Amino acid sequence: MFYKDTLLKQVLKPGRYTGGEYGQVIKDLSGIKCRWAFAFPDTYEIGMSNLGVRILYGVLNEQPDVYCERTYAPWVDMEEQLVKYDLPITSHETGTPLKEFDILGFTLQYELCYTNVLNMLKLSGIPLLASERGEDYPIVIGGGPCSYNAEPLADFFDVFSIGEGEEALPEFSRLYINMKESGEYTKEKFLHEAAKIQGFYVPSLYDVSYNDDGTIKEYKPVYDDIPKTVTKRIIADFNKAYFPDKPVMPYIECVQDRITLEIMRGCIRGCRFCQAGMIYRPIREKDAALLNEQARRTFENTGYDEISLCSLSTSDYTGLRELTDGLLSWTDDNMISLTLPSLRADSFTDELMKKISSVRTSTLTFAPEAGTQRLRDVINKNLTEEEVLKACKVAFSAGKTAVKLYFMIGHPTETDEDIKGIADLAKSVINCFYETENRPKGKPLVTISVACFIPKPFTAFQWEAQDTLEEYKRKQQLLGSYCNDRRIKYNYHDADGSLIEAVLARGDRRLCKVLELACERGMKFDAWSEYFDFNKWMQLFTDCSVDPAFYANRKRSDDEVLPWDVIDCGVSKKFLSNEKKKAYEAKTTQCCAEGCAGCGANRLGGENRWCPNIKK
Amino acid sequence: MVPEYKKIRLKFQKTGNAKFISHLDLDRTMKSVLTRAKVKVEHTHGYNPRPYLVFSLPTSVGTESLCEFLDIKIPTEDDHTDIPERLNKNLPPDIRVTDVYIPETDFKQITDAEYKLVIISPKITKELADKIKPLFSAPVFIEKRTKKTESGFMDFDITPYVKSIDAEFIKDGELEINTVVSAENATYINPEYIIKALCKYLELDLSDPNTCLYTVLRTNVYKQNKETFN
């Protein structure tokens, strides 16, 4: 006899592990031909907040013969119990050990969760290396933003799903079921077939060779009938995309406990540091009336009291007025508040302010990202100081005393003048408060939150060197010395973590051994400051003879073969390289609304998009 | 026009997985369930409007209950008799609303709560069970968290708060205890303290999930003169 309750009584927040939430999918296993465990490699509270998981859980469970269950990384106290009693991680719905599933999917949202992925495999008794997993182990598949360059995980995964999964994952499951039923299934044959489907990258089917200087020489497919580069998948018609209107309702409080209404995919802006802005192209919008209906339905199914419009740049959504008017026609009466994250300062108006504060209000945040106009032009933010101040004025006259501004330091071409510019901008916002005639009583508070720039694949800055740690620390202190006003609250991110993230973001397969050793040494929850240990990482690099600077602080040449060249995200390398050149000249590029800049993503197709017609 | 509201009381059970929901999370769950079931409730009138939900005597995480109470205010003209049915359709299976009525009592009138504790452990024998009742005739100390001492713990005598305790030996390895403990605001004690005390005095270790289990179930709450509260 095993008493799960006894185990749960010894951990914090047992609600993380119980399952049984309202809205979870329970299926009769007798009709199931393909069992998925969908793993989120972080805590339950974070995983349950993820829109992508909600979507794919729903999409897979729509298939009558597929059953998808959820699982999350156990917190350290639970891990201790699992190890003590030699228990595996299990799924939430049926309590099945992960080892027993047909397919085990991991969503890869940020690089620092990689150690959690491996730790979850370890705790499930699944061999880390794909090559050591026989037919009895599940197919391990990864997806999400990090899969665009998941080379540091290449040895551990059987396959990666590149791009949007709503159609790809059911297809993948269908292939699995068909091959099992026809009797031709072996893992090897299945992966070979999967590699022929658009959007599936099987790392073991691509050989990598290296030059003497350590750079990559070539990616070579093992078979002739699989593509040389793997093109990402998109949902052509976003109006027809699956929408999770009956999500699982967590018992315990999660990070995002609200209705998330995804209004569009992609971003028209083209900021040069931003990976999401490139990999989610082409831009596709969803019809405002449809969104309103989906929101209403989700509200009736969930009873949430908040709707958050989700996209990379909410104010660029062309139907914003229609949508917000439509929502407000019923949300106020039902005590539902509306939140619009990702608002651009240049589009923030009195009207929007009123709309988001009709029931409850929260702090307003804008992201100038850089302190001076020159640097904002370098990163193609297309935002002026005047526009930032105008937006703050709107907030102040609506009764706000506090605003939050996001910045990054370490952008290419940055000088100390640009650092000072951040503090200057914060001071201008304070002055702006006192210049606002109908300002509220009290003192203003400007919070500046300053992150360290991390060059990411598929951006104009993918070739750039990251600032060294010493340089980051110097710049952080320098900025601190300028923030000598008590009305400015200065927060900055830890530079150490940014270095590790930079290494993993642009890493190649030679980092697999680093991660393997990290897992062996029990490293996990590196996205959590209390568990991230920089010295342990540096020790790993030393022990594996890997130079982190090679990945983080080295400037690449335009013709270098990059680890992610094997993936085609739609946006062309030529466009990115051109954007990089324009960045050096501090020249901006028009956004998609003003005219096509020729990024190349429109060849992937897509309805309701900004792009001009596809040339055939 | 400000609508008029009437107070109604919901009696509900919280068993199975739902025992692991904290009081705060139960509050959130109930809030969304009321919305899903389209039960209109009065909200607070501040900057962050919230529905008025008043719970009686929260259980601690891990405790099951057959008698939880929740008071809400709904518009006077609304019918309340079908509310349990509507809520149950929208609740997770481990929470069930069993009754609804206009309350005649106040939560402050609650004096005691009755619990059924079940202990499963290979160490349970008849002799052990017989030791329990006399145990509470002398002070029984447990370690309790406090801010008053430097160590963060203090010894705390629970006997004054245990109004009755009855141990029933079911079979080797299984013990059932029925106890009534104080539930008044100032003298409320967590029934887990009794488990703690038994572990200490009977030298039981209940942490091994392969052999041991204890469950705590609130079976009744009382007002003065040991009348059932409702």
| Cα B181 to Cα B165, B214, B219, distances in angstroms | 9, 18, 12
Looking at CA atoms only, how far is residue B24 from chain A in angstroms?
9
Contacts with A251 from chain B: Cβ below 8 Å: 17-18, 20-21, 25, 29, 92
**How many distinct structural domains can be found in chain B?**
2
Point out the residue among B36, B43, B120 whose CB comes nearest to the CB of A301: B36
Distance of alpha carbon A21 from alpha carbon A24, whole angstroms: 6
Take residue A360 and report the two structure tokens written for it: 């409850």
Mean pLDDT in residue range B33-56:
90
Pairing of strands A259-262, A306-310: parallel
**Which residues from A are below 8 Å from B47, CB to CB?**
360-361
Q: Which of A3, A9, A303 sits opposite B32 (nearest CB)?
A: A303
Does A22 contact chain B (CB < 8 Å)? yes
Q: What percent of chain B has pLDDT over 70?
A: 99
Could you tell me where the beta strands, DSSP code E, fall in A10-94? 34-40, 66-72
Handedness of CA A536, A537, A538, A541 (dihedral sign): positive
Inter-chain CB proximity A251 and B208 less than 8 Å:
no
Residues of B in contact with A249 (CB under 8 A): 29, 32, 92
A302 at interface of B, judged by CB pairs closer than 8 A? yes
Chain B positions contacting chain A at CB under 8 Å are 16-18, 20-22, 24-25, 28-29, 31-36, 43, 47-49, 51, 61-62, 90-94, 120, 206-215
Residue of B11, B114, B23, B117 lying closest to B67 (CA atoms)? B11
Inter-chain touch B93–A360, beta carbons under 8 Å: no
| CA distances for A55 relative to A52, A105, A323, A363, B204, angstroms | 5, 14, 21, 28, 47
Residues B83 and B122 in one domain: no
- DSSP assignment of A388-411 equals HHHHHHHHHHTT--EEEEEEEE--
Nearest to B212 among A3, A302, A305 (CB): A3
Q: Is A119 left (phi over 0), alpha (psi -120 to 50) or beta?
A: alpha
Nearest to B62 among A1, A9, A252 (CB): A9
pLDDT in tens, A481-507: 999 999 999 999 989 999 999 999 999
Interface with chain A: mutation pick from B15, B20, B45, B216, highest number of A CBs within 10 Å: B20
User: Mean pLDDT over all residues of chain A?
Assistant: 95
Q: Are residues B50 and B151 in the same domain?
A: no
Q: Is B209 close to A361, i.e. CB distance below 8 A?
A: no
- Exposed / middle / buried, residue A189 (Cβ in 10 Å: 0-12, 13-18, 19+): exposed
Residues B221 and B160 in one domain: yes
Q: What is the pLDDT of residue A26?
A: 97
Closest CA to A268 of A260, A256, A276: A276
pLDDT over 60 (residue A614): no
CB contact under 8 A, A20 and B32: no
Nearest to A3 among B17, B25, B213 (CB): B213
Distance from CA of A397 to the nearest CA of B (A): 17
What is the token pair recorded at A470?
Answer: 């010493």
Q: How far apart are CA B203 and CA A101, in angstroms?
A: 42
B209 and B116: one domain?
yes
pLDDT, position A126? 98
Amino acid at A378: V
pLDDT of residue A616: 43
Same domain, B187 and B139: yes
Q: What percent of chain A has pLDDT over 90?
A: 89
| Whether residue B172 is found in the same domain as residue B76 | no
**Residue A207 touches partner B, C-beta closer than 8 Å:** no
Q: Is B35 in Cβ contact with A252 (below 8 Å)? A: no
Inform me whether the C-beta atom of residue A304 falls under 8 Å from chain B C-beta atoms: yes
Would you give the distance in Å from CA A181 to the centre of its chain? 36
pLDDT band, very low/low/confident/very high, at A350 (cuts 50, 70, 90): confident
**Inter-chain residue contact B47 with A361, CB threshold 8 Å:** yes
Domain extent at residue B184: 109-228
Claim to verify: residue B131 and residue B97 sit in the same structural domain: no
Last residue of a domain, one of B104, B120, B149: B104
Task: State the nearest Cα–Cα gap between B71 and chain A, in angstroms.
Answer: 19
pLDDT per residue over B65-84, tens digit each? Answer: 999 999 999 999 999 999 99
- What average pLDDT does the segment A161-180 reach? 98
Same domain, B120 and B198: yes
Tokens representing A599 are: 């990024």
SS3 at position A272: coil
**pLDDT, tens digit (0-9, with 9 covering 90-100), for A363-375:** 788 999 999 999 9
Residues in B touching A1 (Cβ below 8 Å): 210-211
Specify the amino acid at residue A540. Answer: L
| pLDDT for B2 | 67
Option in A9, A15, A305 nearest B21 (CB): A15
Q: Phi and psi for B114 in degrees, rounded to 5?
A: -105, 140
Q: How big is the A-B interface in CB pairs under 8 Å?
A: 95
Domain holding B35: CATH number? 3.30.70.580
Query: CA-CA distance, A101 to B153, in Å (whole number)?
Result: 46
Letter for the amino acid at A613? Answer: N
Claim to verify: residue B134 and residue B219 sit in the same structural domain: yes
In terms of Cβ atoms closer than 10 Å to its own Cβ (0-12, 13-18, 19+), residue A501 is buried
One domain for residues B123 and B70: no
pLDDT confidence tier of residue A291, bands split at 50, 70 and 90: very high
* Residue B100 and residue B180 share a domain: no
Check CB contact under 8 Å for A303 and B25: no
Task: List the domains of chain A with CATH numbers.
Answer: 4-231 (3.40.50), 258-361+586-616 (3.30.750.210)
* Residue B162 and residue B216 in one domain: yes
More confident residue, A398 or A36: A36
Mean pLDDT across A314-331: 94
| CA-based nearest distance B182→chain A, Å | 23
CA torsion angle A514 A520 A525 A529 (round to 10): -70
DSSP string, A81-123: HHHHTT---B-TTT--BGGG-SEEEEE---GGGHHHHHHHHHH
Name chain B contacts of A10, Cβ cutoff 8 Å: 207
Nearest to A544 by CA among A594, A589, A509, A595: A509
How far is B211 from chain A, CA to nearest CA, in Å? 7
Label residue A120 by pLDDT band (50, 70, 90).
very high
What is the rounded (10 degree) CA torsion for A476, A480, A483, A489?
80
pLDDT higher at B187 or B43: B43
Task: Select the residue of B31, B61, B209 nearest A6 (Cβ to Cβ).
Answer: B209
Pairing of strands A206-210, A216-221: antiparallel
In chain A, the largest separation of any two C-alpha atoms, in whole Å, equals 76
Task: Count CA within 13 A, CB hemisphere, residue B171.
Answer: 0
Does A382 have pLDDT greater than 70?
Answer: yes
Q: What is the pLDDT of residue A455?
A: 98
Q: Is the CB of A135 inside 8 Å of chain B's CB atoms?
A: no
Angle at A463 between CA A458 and CA A467, to 5 degrees: 115
ipTM: 0.90
Q: Among A78-92, A111-125, A440-454, B121-135, which is the least confidently predicted range?
A: B121-135
A213's CB contacts (< 8 A; 6+ apart) are none
User: What pLDDT does residue B163 have?
Assistant: 92
For the stretch A140-156, pLDDT in tens is 999 999 999 999 999 99
Could B94 and A20 be called an inter-chain contact, meaning their C-beta atoms sit closer than 8 Å? yes
Cβ contact (<8 Å) for B17 and A19?
yes
Buried b / exposed e over B63-94, threshold 16 CB at 10 Å, is bbbbbbbbbbbbeeeeebeebbebbbebbbeb
- Pick from A22, A24, A359 the residue to mutate for testing the B interface (most B CBs within 10 Å): A22
Compare all CA atoms of chain A with the CA of B91 and give the residue at the minimum distance.
Answer: A22
Determine, for residues B16 and A1 on separate chains, whether the beta-carbon distance falls below 8 Å: no
Residues from chain B that touch A301, judged by Cβ atoms under 8 A, are: 36
Residue A356 has pLDDT above 90, yes or no: no
Of A69-73, A534-538, B102-106, B202-206, give the lowest mean pLDDT range: B202-206
Last residue of a domain, one of B52, B80, B104: B104
Separation of alpha carbons B221 and B68, rounded Å = 9
Last residue of a domain, one of B74, B104, B134: B104
Say which of A15, A257, A303 has its CB closest to residue B35.
Answer: A303
Q: Which pLDDT belongs to residue B129? A: 87
Domain containing residue B186: CATH number? 3.30.70
Residue in chain A nearest B213 by alpha carbon: A6
